[in-house]
Amino acid sequence: MQFPTSLLVAALFGTAFAHPQAAPTDCPQTSAIPTCGAPCITSAASAVGCSDIACQCASSDAVQASALSCVIGNCGIETALKVRDAAAAVCTACA
C-alpha cells in the first residue's frame, strides 16, 4: 500500500524536531537521533538562528520545514520517522 507523499510528510514532522548543539552528556537522548539526520537538523537549526536545544524546540516548525527534504533524502522515510521520534524525545526530556 502506498501513501501519498503529503500524508507521509505530515506524519513525519507532526511533532517536535530538534538536534543537539550541546554535548551529548547534556541531553543523553540526543544519542538516539539517527546520524543520517544530524547534519540536516544542525543546518536547519543554524538557518533559523538556534544554537541550543531549547531554541530548536521552541522553533520546531521552522526547523522542521528547513530540515524536512534533507532528512528524507539522507535517511529515507522509515528512518526519518525514527529521527522524528528521537527528536521529539529530546524536546520532551531536555528543552
pLDDT tens-digit map of 26-37: 788 888 999 999
Among 79, 69, 81, residue whose Cα is nearest residue 40: 69
CA distance 53 to 45: 9
* Residue 91 identity (one-letter amino acid): C
Q: Residue 76, by phi and psi: left (phi above 0), alpha (psi -120 to 50) or beta?
A: left
Task: Quote the mean pLDDT of the chain.
Answer: 79
- For 38-64, write each residue's pLDDT tens digit: 999 999 999 999 999 999 999 999 998
Share of the chain above pLDDT 70, in %: 74
CA distance 53 to 70: 19
